[in-house]
Amino acid sequence: MRPDPPQDADTVAEVGEFGLIRRVTAGRTQPPTTLLGPGDDAAVVAAPDGRVVASTDVLVENVHFRLDWSSPEHVGRKAAAVNLADIAAMGAMPTALLIGLACPADTPASVVDGITAGLWQEAAVAGAGVVGGDMVSSETLVISITALGDLNGLEPVVRSGAQVGDIVAVCGKLGWAAAGLAVLSRGFRSPVAVVGAQRSPEPPYPSGPEAAAAGATAMIDTSDGLLADLGHIATASGVGIDIRTELLEVHPRLIDVASALGADARHWVLTGGEDHALAATFPDAAAVPEDWQVIGAVRPGDGVTVDGRGYEKPPGWEHWR
């Protein structure tokens, strides 16, 4: 459910398509990779490496976000982060975002202003530009984003490269967004740090290229949960992965929240999605960058185990399930 808009707020229908485009693009600055930004039929983005990394995601109101839980700015930041993290997970530096926005005619223009402000803010954090897109009428608020990136001479780090004997490591928060979802679902709005992780995640964008330069053999963005996404690496690489719980950091704040809600903080860490941390495999412990946390190893076999055993609960999020 959306909060009630201010009584004097303009709607997107009143502002009009082209007026809205002017509102969300005027006065914005672009990074050097944006050679031609919004205003023409298409943008021009530099690709110094000669190869372009591309990814796309769709966020739907009341599926991926709720405007009674998050401000429009939070939604914009989250929409950008979801896509930018995928670029980092390939070992690339983000360069540009293309935005598709669909919304009802009675949507307050201030909501679109806030969403696009959040998009621009998060893009700037990652060093990317917002270079174009499209706006259309829809019965539901939908944000579709295509992210572009540059490999800077490195090879892309794919899911199929893990080898038996590799070390498994993660970089970024795990379990925080799941804890925030649990808190919001109970009708609470604090602790702020936990709720904030659900509203707008903070992926470690520079750590993707850092891992690629260090020799990572496989990498993935943990959008659906650590076990679920490591399962994609295991399947693509034809190997097994074992996670050791004694190596997993569970922040005291998560333990406190789980205790208050009667939940399991370690389950959030293992299966909670939407933190957009990075998980990767490396040939040996010496190759793991300093800000990464070793959590397990690649073994013969298939699937993902926890302390040598199959995990009895669902490993993460999956649409239509």
Known binding site for substrate: residues?
64, 274, 317
**Residues 182/184/187/189 CA torsion (nearest 10 deg):** 120
Pairing of strands 93-103, 129-137: parallel
Closest CA to 222 of 305, 315, 141: 315
Report the binding-site residues for Mg(2+): 41, 55-57, 86, 134, 221, 224
Pairing of strands 309-310, 303-306: antiparallel
- Residue type at position 298: V
Report the binding-site residues: 41, 55-57, 64, 86, 133-134, 159, 221, 223-224, 274, 317
Tokens encoding 84: 């930018």
Using CB atoms within 10 Å of the CB of residue 251, give its burial: 0 to 12 exposed, 13 to 18 middle, 19+ buried: middle
Pairing of strands 167-171, 293-299: antiparallel
Q: To which residue do tokens 């919004």 refer?
A: 38
> How far apart, in whole angstroms, are the C-alpha atoms of residue 148 and residue 96?
5
Tokens encoding 124: 């700037």
Closest CA to 45 of 94, 86, 83: 94
Cis peptide before 72 (omega within 30 of 0): no
Report the binding-site residues for ATP: 133-134, 159, 223
Residues written for the chain: 321
- Residue type at position 268: W
